[in-house]
Structure 1
Amino acid sequence: MTAAASWPSVEGLAYGGDYNPEQWPRETWDEDMRLMREAGVNLVSVGIFSWAMLEPEEGRYDFAWMDDLLDLLHSHGIAADLGTPSVSPPAWFFHRYPDARVTDKNGTVMGFGGRGMASHAAPEYREAIARMAGALAERYGEHPAVVMWHIHNEYGVPIAEDFGPRAVVSWRRWLEERYGTLDGLNAAWGTAFWGQRYGAWEHVVAPAATATITNPAMKLDWARFTDDQLRECYVVERDAIRAHASQPITTNFMAHQAWNTDLWKWAELVDVVSDDHYLWSPDPDAHVGLALSADLTRSVAGGKPWILMEHSTSAVNWQGRNIAKRPGEMRRNALTHLGRGADAIMFFQWRASRSGAEKFHSAMLPHAGESSRVFREVVELGGHLKDAAEVRGSEVEAEVAVLYDWESLWAQDLEWRPSDDVQFRERMRTFYERLWRDGVTVDFAHPDQDLSRYKLVVAPASYLLTASSAANLTRYVEGGGTLLVNFFSAIVNENDAVHEGGFVAPLRDALGLTVEEFLPMREGDTAAVRWTRGAEVELPSDVWQDDIVLAGAEVVAENISGPGAGKPAITRNTHGEGVGWYVGTKLSVEALRTVVDAVYADAGIEVSGLPEDLEVVTRRGAAEDFVIAVNHGDDAARLPVAGKDLLSGAETDGELEVPGGGVAVIRTSRGTGGDGV
């Protein structure tokens, strides 16, 4: 069968969340329908953790309750995103197939009673999930309530790696397919070091716990293998569904929050991209991390609208300190996702659970009930999304790309790097936050992608950069692009081997330099950089300096203290029609301001000049634009824009005041406001 259009058949913007009615008596379901309609809910995800109820014994299905539920939802005009329950096999499965349990790197076999996945390599698991997915699709493939299929739940969280004997067999097979011969494997892993050479495939083991660190090239391949195995399990279920049903199929990602799935590859397998996002409560500016994840999700979706499958109405339950959202914060979070491309705003979950590990997790309908502040805000948000329905289908356009490669993340964050203080996510967040505070909307991109349409490409953490990716970036600069590269980039190839020619060698032409030696600093030490391009400025730095060897680049800043004192810190190089910038020391968000201002000038990018707390993104429609404004500050902010605020109905002929903590969705004629932000 051919798949339906990639977007589920829901009118307007989708709104709702995970619904787990099996936790409640039947009479509660009718109350849920009433309250869902009051809140404006039009889509719920069901069945995600329901394997034990759908198949109480192997081969014996009980669909009666699901029949009732889907009929009830349809009668109330609520669509269903029907989940397959493969994330949580029932107790009988593990009792009957004990070898399908996951083994951790220390050899401990994981028990039943939590949440996660069975061994991804176990044939019994793959056969069982195919049967379940097929049975659901055969029964509900034409049910009018079902508009989308939802496979598994958050692949790789909390279980991704399996070191058990089934996985090791698959691992050897995977390696043989990748390298062909043991000579190929030994060369890729550099096994001449420490006498690790393999003479037979059966000698190859999983990178479990060892006396010292494990071969890093081996661990990098293990991350790739694990991701491939998870995707194989997804395909097993997808194909079983597609044999009986034509609705779009998805699985919920966790962009920038789960590290073990390469979403560039996953996005090729789903009909529509969806993502889960939860604020990290220790971060006082967690809304910036939210924006990062939303932009990353839109980017792996190829710029197309996507589904926010889960976020929270208030506190979560799994962090050390689960901070409740303040009044209005949920609305700001939701509208930020909308502005950055989400056409569906959903939560975990509809009704708060009374039992289990997540009973303290917030919900659309909290324990306090319909009289609560949270539920009132849920109803208000439902009204906003109904008012903003015409935003659906519009897309975000960006002039700047930030390079993001999961394989580089896996490689950079392995052990025994020059400094534990240099981490992929920290550098990514720092550079993204500088752009965010400047009001610059970004896409994320893989280093191999066509980058020609971007005025500026930023590489905050490209430790692993293949020769082909480096050539792609060099061509980008030659063609007139502006490239900004952070230190500890272009260091190793796809096998975590240092590039021939040394550090940064593949980008020598684009950047006009190489790096002779890393000069990391002791914990707590600080240094300073003297910026000499234009007005002289002193910028604080810490953690890292490079011993830069110039090969044509001009020095625009030098280290004035630290182990690299007197050496270049920041450089600029003209190559072809474009410019390559290099930052050879660790700068904060604030210190980066001076650097990126000069980079913007080279790239021809104009910043908005708006207050930093006023987050503004434009979505492009077929004939009109939609400017989504979210004020994270306490004070009102003025936005130069002409059009109609779809939320308040107010018309503006040139300027709109967005109150402190407020939001607005302004429909504008093309070119009358909001472009470039």
Structure 2
Amino acid sequence: MPDTAPEGLEGLAFGGDYNPEQWPEEVWQEDVRLMREAGVNLVSLGIFSWALLEPEPGRYDFDWLDRIIGLLHEHGIRIDLATPTVAPPAWFYRAHPDALPVSREGTRYAFGSRGAICHSSPAYRAAAAAITEQLARRYGSHPALALWHVHNEYGVPVSACYCENCAVHFRRWLGATYSTVDAVNEAWGTAFWGQRYGSFDEIEPPRATPTVCNPAQRLDYARFADATMRENFVRERDLLHRHSPGIPVTTNFMTALSQCDSVDYWAWGREVDLVTNDHYLITDGRRTHVNLAMAADLTRSVAGGAPWLLLEHSTSGVNWQPRNPAKAPGQMARNSLAHVARGSDGAMFFQWRQSRRGAEKFHSSMLPHAGTDSRVWREVVGLGAALGGLATVRGTRTAADAALVWDWQSWWAQRLEWRPSEDHDARERADTFYEALYDRHLTVDFAHPEADLSGYPLVVVPALYLAGEATGRNLRTYVENGGTLVVSYFSGIVDQHDAVHPGAHPGVLREVLGLTVEEFSPLGEGERVRLTAADGAELTGDVWSEFVVPRGAETVWTYADGLAAGRPAITRHRLGRGTAWYVSTRLDSGALDTILDAAAEDAGIAPRTGLPRDIEVVRRTGEGGDYLFAVNHTGTDTKVPLPAHGTELLTGERAAGRLGLPAGAVRVVKLDD
């Protein structure tokens, strides 16, 4: 069984994607010298190199790769070696044009970008396996090899193809999943609109239709597309395991909810040896560090709580958003160490040397166009030194205070057409609930709806539209055994086939919440409703309201206006030794904090009043010791309380009582044993 950490690294990983093929060979010596100056110990190599490695079918050229791997090894830099299967060569598409993906509307994409792949194409699968096996045979036992990197960012930019190859493959997948076409008809509810199928051969991918396509078919096709990409990963992974025993195999995820929406990372996390993630700040006006923390917590959760690796982020600005601001001085290190606080065993970047040509020439890098006499370079060198001083953090685990239940397949189902309101967004609810927990200074694990929740005093469930019977039992057991649960509206509505659960809403959550919902009452654009408590306090909701009927739950907040005026808006249900809260309208993070105050009190979580807003305090613990990370995202110096005496690793100073935390800085205290 391969290890789960990069082979041969003693401390935290530091480096990035290296694309030497973009540069004359005389530049390589300078690159390696500067890598050593910066403290780089790991680079990702060969991700987009298929056309160079196999310049024509069946003819391989590894001489240049031999030379650069040898040079890196000579200077003590380890290799994350990629299979280049995200970017097949031009000759491949000329020979196999049907390997280019087809959109739902019937447009076949052209060669000239990246990730333009029909994952059902037999020709692609054969060619990908062939180049992977060649690499595995040649480099599988190379002493510089630390990690295998399959493909690149599966699902970006294309996950689902709708071509004839996919139609054939989809029918095979349905046969394996359902056995009979009658079972497909039952699962998809094809009696509606006369869509019944007489054989598997009659079933096509859910291509563009005059009006709404069968939602259960759309949902299954999303599952099929994800499973097909995963089949291809597993095929390459198994080849690498066979020829390179002991070396872990990964592929880089993109778990940030705003960046990749076609991959079920719960399933993928079970297939990789080491979970790795790419994260880029989304500059849409929100607090970017909150999304960063969320992505890191979600990645750690996909890894089952084990250490993971940040395989890509940016030193400064990116190039693919409408506006791409530079990072502020110190922000690169702060971002990197915030990921480390939440479980990453290193910080890697895209890319080492900034490109002069191509689509990403304005994407920042470790070695920018401005060269070594630049702010970015000086900050890169400083970060390398800082990570070098945190070597003993490697292998420790981040401690969490609460859990947020999330399911990618439920998200897929909620985004299909003809839902009660286009203003409802499951990802937005997850973001908002997470932000409210973040502002309470709680470290959050994400959890699959059927995962063991017994270790968490508080669990929140934002917009879990799709929930099966097992989820209902799991959440009920959690509450009965003493847990505190907070559930938002439009949860528990349908089963795995997007079929509404029998009886009143919220389906499988009726018993744990102690209520039923007679009817949804979405609000008009810009419309708001007031909520009042017994003491006269008020909250404001928007987007959604419901006609809630308590069936054992107590009413805590009531609708003061709107169609549901006088009816319960927020309820609390005591069940067994625990409590379940229900929020039937959309609250912003500030209003949610009011509800979470009460829920946290039920859960026995004391408020962390000594910490200002936008100050993170996160703890990693393990055989290497206990480490407290304090991250200041504000422009003001502050102090944070310490649970014990310790040594601050970035300055070498002793720390006790309250830790000084300068504006924009990070401090890491190794607590005394």
Measured after TM superposition, the shift of residue 266 of structure 1 is 0.5
Separation of aligned partners in 2, 1:481 and 1:14? 38
* Contact 1:491 1:502 (C-alpha < 8 Å) held by counterparts: no
In the TM superposition, residue 201 of structure 1 has moved relative to its aligned partner by 1.3
For the Cα contact (< 8 Å) 2:458–2:484, is it kept in 1? yes
> How many Å separate the matches in 1 of 2:492 and 2:536?
30
Q: Is 2:439 the partner of 1:437? A: yes
5+ residue gaps, structure 2: none
- CA deviation string 1:107-143 (max 9, x = no partner): 1111100111421111111111111111001000111
C-alpha displacement of 1:282: 1.1
Q: Please give the per-residue CA displacement for 1:392-421, whole angstroms capped at 9, x wherever unaligned.
A: 111012231100101101001111111111
In structure 1, the residue corresponding to 2:543 is in which secondary structure?
A: strand
Counterpart residue number, 2:463: 461
Is the contact made by 1:623 and 1:669 (CA closer than 8 Å) also made in structure 2?
no
Amino acid at match of 1:296: L
**CA distance in 2: counterparts of 1:418 and 1:520, whole angstroms:** 7
Q: Is the 8 A contact 2:4 2:274 kept in 1?
A: no
Residue in 1 that maps onto 2:652 = 649
Q: Is the Cα contact below 8 Å between 1:647 and 1:665 reproduced in 2? A: yes
1:6: how far off? Answer: 4.0
Quote the offset at 1:572 in angstroms: 0.2
Give the equivalent residue in structure 1 for 2:113: 114
CA deviations 1:63-121 (Å, max 9, x no partner) are 00000010000011100000000000000000011121111111111110011142111
Structure 1 residue 635 corresponds to structure 2 residue 627:
no
Q: How does 1:200-599 map to 2 (within 5 A)?
A: 200-246=199-245, 247-255=247-255, 256=257, 257-532=259-534, 535-599=535-599
SS in 2 for 1:475: helix
Farther off after superposition, 489-498 or 555-564: 555-564
CA distance in 1, matches of 2:454, 2:9: 36
**Secondary structure of 1:380's aligned partner:** helix
Distance apart, 1:531 and its partner CA: 2.5
What is the deviation of 1:549? 1.1
Deviation sequence 1:286-320 (CA, Å, 0-9, x none):
11001001000000101110010000011111111
| Aligned: 1:663 with 2:666 | yes
Cα deviations by residue, 1:463-509 (Å, 9 ceiling, x for unpaired): 10111111111111111111110001001110101111121131122
Give the partner amino acid of 1:96. Answer: A
CA apart distance, 1:622 = 2.2
Which deviations, in whole Å up to 9, do the C-alpha atoms of 1:565-603 show, x marking residues without a partner?
111110000111111100011100111111000000001
Q: Measured at CA, do residues 664 and 454 of structure 1 come closer, stay the same or move farther in structure 2, by a change above 3 Å?
A: same
1:608 aligns with 2:608: yes
Distance 2:219 2:4 in 1: 37
**Cα distance change, pair 172–196 in 1 and its aligned pair in 2 (3 A):** same
- In 2: Cα distance, 1:563 partner to 1:39 partner: 63
The whole-number CA distance in structure 1 between the counterparts of 2:7 and 2:215 is 42
Secondary structure in 1 matching 2:431: helix
Structure 2 length normalisation: TM-score? 0.98
- How big is the shift at 1:623? 6.3
Aligned CA distance change for structure 1 residues 258 and 5 (closer, same or farther; 3 Å): closer
Does the Cα contact within 8 Å between 1:644 and 1:668 map onto a contact in 2?
yes
Cα-to-partner distance string for 1:174-207 (whole Å, 9 max, x where unaligned): 1111111111111100111111111121111101
Shift in Å, 1:4: 3.8
> For 1:220-241, what per-residue CA distance to the aligned partner results, in whole angstroms no more than 9, with x for missing partners?
0001000000000101111121
AA of the residue aligned to 1:125: Y
CA distance in 2, matches of 1:499, 1:654: 54
Once the two structures are TM-superposed, the CA of residue 528 in structure 1 deviates from its matched residue by 1.3
Separation of aligned partners in 2, 1:402 and 1:393? 24
Contact 1:399 1:453 in 2 (8 A): no
What is the CA–CA distance in structure 2 between the aligned matches of 1:650 and 1:394, rounded to whole Å? 22
Instruction: State the alpha-carbon separation in 2 of the partners of residues 392 and 620 from structure 1.
Output: 10
Unaligned residue ranges in structure 1 (runs of 5+): 671-677
- Give SS of 1:557's match: strand
After superposition, the C-alpha distances for 1:323-342 in whole angstroms (9 at most, x for unaligned) are: 21111111111011000000
Contact 2:517 2:547 in 1 (8 A): yes
The answer to whether the 8 A contact 2:647-2:672 is kept is no
Amino acid at match of 2:486: L
Q: Secondary structure at the match of 2:193?
A: helix
Q: In structure 2, the residue corresponding to 1:464 is in which secondary structure?
A: coil
State the alpha-carbon separation in 2 of the partners of residues 383 and 607 from structure 1: 36
- Whole-angstrom distance in 2 between the partners of 1:435 and 1:40: 36
Q: What's the CA shift for 1:8?
A: 2.9
Query: 1:53 aligns to what SS in structure 2?
Result: helix
Matched position secondary structure for 2:220: helix
Residue 159 in structure 1 maps to residue 158 in structure 2:
yes
Aligned residue for 1:450, secondary structure, equals coil
Residue 389 (structure 1) shift: 1.2
Q: CA offsets per residue over residues 256-310 of structure 1, 9 Å max, x none?
A: 2211111111011111000000000113301100100100000010111001000
SS where residue 315 of structure 1 aligns? coil
Give the aligned residue type for 2:661.
Answer: V
Q: Is the 8 A contact 1:306 1:341 kept in 2?
A: yes
C-alpha distance in structure 1 between counterparts of 2:445 and 2:243, whole Å: 36
CA distance in 1, matches of 2:624, 2:275: 25
Q: Give distance in 1, aligned partners of 2:375 and 2:461.
A: 43
Contact 1:474 1:510 in 2 (8 A): yes
Asked if 2 retains the 8 angstrom alpha-carbon contact of 1:308 and 1:344, the reply is: yes
What CA distance in whole angstroms lies between the structure 1 residues aligned with 2:635 and 2:612? 12
The alpha-carbon distance between structure 1 residues 355 and 389, as it changes in their structure 2 partners (threshold 3 A), is: same
- Please tell me whether the aligned partners of residues 86 and 117 of structure 1 are also in contact (alpha carbons under 8 angstroms): no
- Cα distance in 2 for partners of 1:457, 1:591 equals 18
Q: Is the partner of 1:590 in helix, strand or coil?
A: helix
DSSP 3-state at the match of 1:243: helix
Check if 1:138 corresponds to 2:137.
yes
Residue type of the partner of 1:145? A
Q: Which residue number in structure 1 is paired with residue 37 of structure 2? A: 38
The answer as to whether partners of 1:554 and 1:571 remain within 8 angstroms in 2 is yes
Give 1:5 deviation, angstroms: 5.0
Conserved 8 A contact 2:392-2:624: no
The aligned counterpart of 1:673 is none
Q: Structure 1, residues 347-391: CA drift from partner, whole Å, max 9, x if none? A: 000000100000010001111111110111111110110111111
Whether the 8 Å contact between 2:546 and 2:585 is mirrored in structure 1 is: yes
Take 2:243 and 2:32, find their aligned partners in 1: how far apart are those partners?
29
Aligned equivalents of 1:133, 1:84: Cα separation in 2: 6
1:384 partner amino acid: A
Give the equivalent residue in structure 1 for 2:71. 72
Number of residues of Structure 1 aligned to a counterpart in Structure 2: 667
Asked whether the equivalents of residues 464 and 496 of structure 1 are also in contact (C-alpha less than 8 Å), the reply is yes
Letter in 1 for 2:367: L
Task: Using the TM superposition, give the Cα deviation of residue 461 of structure 1 relative to its aligned residue in structure 2, in angstroms.
Answer: 1.8
**Deviation, structure 1 residue 209:** 0.6
Provide the identity percentage.
54
Mean CA deviation greater in 256-265 or 163-172: 256-265
Query: Is the contact between residue 134 and residue 243 of structure 1 (CA under 8 Å) also seen in structure 2?
Result: no
Letter in 1 for 2:131: M
8 Å contact 2:630–2:668 — kept in the other structure? Answer: yes
Once the two structures are TM-superposed, the CA of residue 649 in structure 1 deviates from its matched residue by 1.1
